[in-house]
């Protein structure tokens, strides 16, 4: 974070300064990054005592000070050993400080802000953009999937006077949330990947999802760039909602950055990258042809940032995994492949992962889909789990292993598909599924582990990967 006095921070937050017993007051400066977890605090950092759903950060102010916190932002006075700024809402204050820091750094004239949203692919695209932007200069990007009202500001507060690119993943569970994030860090380049059923239950339907995601581009000025998916009809509609210049990506001939001759295999995906009159053969080692769209979006961003196409291709070919628990290839013993893709799951990403499993199947082995529930689908949950069960059957997946009561309907749909000569098995928990799989997997089997994060199958995928390492 840039250096600010406590008086600067008070002005930004609209709070009340309580000087610390250590002598800290209005002219005291801080430059440490901000945290909302007292266990992560290091000397000189700022602790925001948020009230969460499960706990209250005010309980941990003492621990934060013991660990070296230089400033506490809280909703009431608790511990006077260091300065405190008392505010009405610590979460809103976190966003206010992020807004001020980004504003000051932007005014220096160096910072370019890239905002990324979509129902699927945000983290993968963010990681790709970060790897490309780092070739141009100092870059700050969201850690893990920090993309909400807390994670977004925490990322923004890491920018300094020398930061050239901020890559901000911007997610939402309702209308208005992306607008708040873009107000904190107004994008120079705004990316919309997809509009699908991920979190549709929280949004209240696909049209509300469209409305929420379109907030990424509706407020852009003419000088900004909207990077939009030409192949997604709902994303394509957003071109009419923005004043910004539009740059298309996709497989369509109408895309400015496009891919052709896409071939998926167990080693990754090969495709021809086409930009204008230039074309490059790309060996993209990230598993799953659906990640090609993320690669195209990242390419469009990198070109807007000023990276040449040769360097873009080098960055794509240097990437070996999208992100932790996203089509992560593990295992290897006796030719057994474990694909751990259980960080999140929507109908679109589940469908894409199953297609990948079918495409990369080894002729001498079986394909096993270990599937858990897709969360936050609301009224669409039943029919979408039905659809995935039927798709697994129709793709010829050798066996479906369904885990967890919330996914049982997927299992029932699979076994009710009478034309299938395979089988589906159901387990209440991951431990039982692990015992079954370790006892039945054969050499050269390819196993996909896929679920929403809430289903908890990430650790099952890790355990299988270790067991067959």
Annotated binding-site ranges for ATP = 118-124
* Beta-carbon count within 10 A of 442 CB: 12
Report whether 147 contacts 118 (CB < 8 A): no
Report whether 9 contacts 69 (CB < 8 A): no
> CA–CA separation, 275 vs 30, rounded Å?
46
List the structure tokens of 455.
């289903």
Q: What is the dihedral of CA 344, 179, 164, 134, to 10 degrees?
A: 10
Give pairs for 386-393: CB < 8 Å, separation 24+: 386/410, 386/413, 387/347, 387/351, 387/413, 388/347, 388/350, 388/351, 388/354, 388/413, 389/413, 389/414, 389/417, 389/424, 390/414, 390/417, 391/351, 391/354, 392/354, 392/424, 393/417, 393/419, 393/420, 393/422
> CA–CA separation, 300 vs 294, rounded Å?
10
Q: What is the DSSP letter of 121?
A: -
Environment class of 125 (CB within 10 Å of its CB; exposed 0-12, middle 13-18, buried 19+): buried
DSSP string for 290-322? THHHHHHHHHHHHHHHT--HHHHHHHHHH---S
List the structure tokens of 163.
């930061």
Distances (CA, A) of 384 to 201, 274, 357: 12, 35, 19
Q: Specify binding-site residues.
A: 118-124
Distances (CA, A) of 303 to 170, 222, 394: 21, 18, 40
> CA–CA separation, 35 vs 28, rounded Å?
19
3-state class of 346 per DSSP? coil
Distances (CA, A) of 16 to 3, 74, 94, 231: 20, 10, 15, 50
Q: What residues contact 205, with CB distance under 8 A and at least 6 apart? A: 378
Report whether 359 contacts 351 (CB < 8 A): no
Report whether 32 contacts 1 (CB < 8 A): yes
> CA–CA separation, 339 vs 337, rounded Å?
6
List the structure tokens of 200.
């549709």
């Amino acid at each position: 974070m840039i250096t600010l006095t406590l008086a600067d921070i008070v002005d930004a937050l609209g709070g009340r300064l309580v000087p610390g017993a250590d002598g800290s007051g209005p002219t005291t400066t801080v430059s440490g990054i901000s945290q909302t977890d007292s266990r992560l605090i290091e000397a000189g950092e700022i602790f925001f005592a948020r009230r969460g759903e499960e706990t209250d950060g005010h309980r941990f102010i003492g621990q934060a000070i013991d660990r070296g916190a230089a400033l506490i932002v809280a909703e009431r006075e608790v511990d006077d050993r260091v300065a405190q700024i008392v505010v009405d809402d610590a979460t809103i204050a976190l966003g206010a400080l992020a807004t001020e820091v980004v504003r000051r750094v932007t005014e220096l004239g160096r910072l370019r802000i890239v905002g990324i949203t979509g129902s699927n692919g945000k983290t993968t695209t963010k990681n790709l953009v970060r790897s490309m932007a780092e070739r141009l200069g100092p870059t700050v990007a969201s850690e893990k999937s920090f993309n909400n009202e807390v994670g977004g500001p925490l990322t923004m507060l890491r920018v300094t006077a020398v930061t050239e690119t901020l890559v901000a993943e911007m997610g939402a569970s309702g209308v208005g949330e992306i607008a708040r994030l873009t107000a904190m860090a107004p994008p120079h380049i705004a990316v919309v990947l997809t509009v699908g059923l991920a979190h549709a239950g929280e949004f209240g339907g696909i049209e509300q999802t469209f409305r929420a995601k379109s907030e990424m581009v509706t407020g852009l000025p003419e000088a900004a760039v909207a990077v939009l998916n030409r192949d997604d009809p709902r994303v394509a509609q957003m071109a009419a909602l923005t004043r910004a210049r539009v740059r298309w990506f996709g497989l369509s001939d109408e895309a400015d950055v496009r891919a052709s001759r896409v071939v998926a295999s167990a080693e990754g995906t090969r495709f021809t990258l086409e930009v204008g009159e230039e074309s490059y053969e790309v060996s993209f080692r990230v598993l799953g042809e659906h990640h090609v769209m993320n690669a195209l979006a990242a390419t469009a961003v990198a070109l807007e940032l000023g990276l040449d196409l040769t360097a873009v291709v080098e960055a794509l070919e240097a990437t070996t995994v999208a992100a932790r628990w996203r089509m992560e290839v593990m295992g290897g013993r006796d030719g057994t492949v474990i694909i751990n893709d259980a960080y999140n799951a929507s109908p679109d990403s589940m469908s894409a992962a199953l297609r990948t499993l079918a495409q990369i199947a080894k002729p001498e082995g079986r394909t096993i889909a270990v599937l858990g529930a897709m969360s936050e689908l609301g009224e669409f949950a039943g029919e979408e789990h039905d659809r995935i069960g039927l798709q697994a059957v129709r793709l010829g997946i050798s066996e479906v292993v369904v885990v967890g009561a919330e996914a049982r309907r997927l299992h029932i749909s699979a076994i009710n598909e009478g034309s299938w000569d395979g089988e589906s098995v159901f387990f209440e928990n991951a431990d039982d599924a692990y015992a079954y799989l370790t006892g039945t997997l054969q050499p050269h089997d390819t196993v996909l582990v896929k679920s929403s994060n809430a289903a908890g199958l990430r650790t099952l995928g890790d355990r299988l990967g270790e067991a067959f390492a």
